[in-house]
Amino acid sequence: MGIVSPGFRRRRRDDDVQLPPGQYLTEDFPVLSAGPTPNIPLDRWEFVIASETGQEYRWTWDELQELPAEEPTVDIHCVTKWSKLGTSWRGVSLDLLMEDVETTADYALAHSYGGYTTNLPLEDLLDGKAWIVYEYEGSELAPQHGGPARLLVPHLYFWKSAKWVRGLQLQEFDELGFWESVGYHDYGDPWREQRYAGD
């Protein structure tokens, strides 16, 4: 437990909700990105899952829209300490996208337009735990929040929910992504406060 800060008094009253350690509640939707927001024309957009054998599975924007959508309402937790509760999204479950993919890989490296990457165990993308989303709170997903489409993996810190997602590379080994290779945690479970490497 931390040492007491002399004279510090709690201002925020988030006690009716259970937040991961070190997180505070926000009503805004702050933004965290390493660089500028890319501009991605929909007629050139595609999402590609590449298996460890090199086989590729592709969806254009229109094809993605035609797939049955889900509307998850989830809590999100950013490593910069804010949490936002009850956010609602619309998109396609990764279970559906992975349905016909032949793989024995254990890991996925998500790639984004603009060059961003993040790594996850493949099992964290399956069983109703992850989506490719293109709507937020009933409107199309704004570019600064990852539009046209982003990965949504709400049980991990939000940097794992790659904005501007372009594809998944499935592989047998764990390859560190962008933030993971500059000191952030490999897995990023907010409930175990896995912010930084070694946590």
Partner 1 sequence: MSPRLEWRVATLAGVRQETPTALTLLLDVPGWPGHVPGQHVDVRLTDEDGYSTQRSYSLAAPADGDRVELTVQRVKGGEVSEYLTDTFSVGDPVELRGPVGGWFVWHPSRTAPVLLVAGGSGIVPLMAMIRARRQARSRAPFRLIHSVRSPSDQYYASELRRATRDEGGLDIATVYTRSAPTGSARPPRRIGPADLELYGWPPQFEPTCYVCGPTGFVEKVANTLVGLGHDPRRIRTERFGPTGD
Ligand X SMILES: Cc1cc2nc3c(=O)[nH]c(=O)nc-3n(C[C@H](O)[C@H](O)[C@H](O)COP(=O)(O)OP(=O)(O)OC[C@H]3O[C@@H](n4cnc5c(N)ncnc54)[C@H](O)[C@@H]3O)c2cc1C
> Where along the sequence are the contacts to ligand X (CB under 6 A)?
28, 80
Return the number of the residue (5 or 139) whose C-beta is nearest partner 1.
5
d(CA 151, CA 115): 15
Residue 24-53 contact track with partner 1, rule CB under 8 A, x = bound: x-x-xxxxxxxxxxx---------------
Return the number of the residue (12 or 44) whose C-beta is nearest partner 1.
12
- Report which residue type is found at 146: G
Counting contacts by CB under 8 A, is residue 183 touching partner 1? Answer: yes
Backbone angles phi, psi at 88, to 5 degrees: -115, 140
CB of 195 to ligand X, least distance (A): 12
CB of 84 to ligand X, least distance (A): 12
Q: Find the part of the chain contacting partner 1 (CB under 8 A) among 5-13, 101-109, 128-136, 163-171.
A: 5-13
The residue length of the chain stands at 199
User: In Å, how far are 7, 46, 145, 186 from 152, measured between CA atoms?
Assistant: 40, 17, 11, 17
CB of 80 to ligand X, least distance (A): 4
Burial class (CB in 10 A: 0-12, 13-18, 19+), 141: buried
The binder of 17, among partner 1, ligand X, none, by C-beta within 5 to 8 A per type, is: none
How many other CB atoms sit within 10 Å of the CB of residue 43?
Answer: 7
Size of the site for partner 1 (CB under 8 A): 41
Q: At CA 129, angle to CA 128 and CA 135, rounded to 5? A: 90
For residues 94-153, which are near partner 1 according to CB under 8 A?
Answer: 114-115, 144
Q: 95 with 129: CB under 8 angstroms?
A: no
Backbone angles phi, psi at 97, to 5 degrees: -65, -30
- Report which residue type is found at 114: G
The binder of 31, among partner 1, ligand X, none, by C-beta within 5 to 8 A per type, is: partner 1
The binder of 102, among ligand X, partner 1, none, by C-beta within 5 to 8 A per type, is: none
| Chain residue whose CB lies nearest ligand X | 80
State the distance between the two ends of the chain, measured CA to CA, in whole angstroms.
16
The footprint of partner 1 (CB under 8 A) covers 1-12, 22, 24, 26, 28-38, 80-81, 114-115, 144, 178-179, 181-183, 195-199
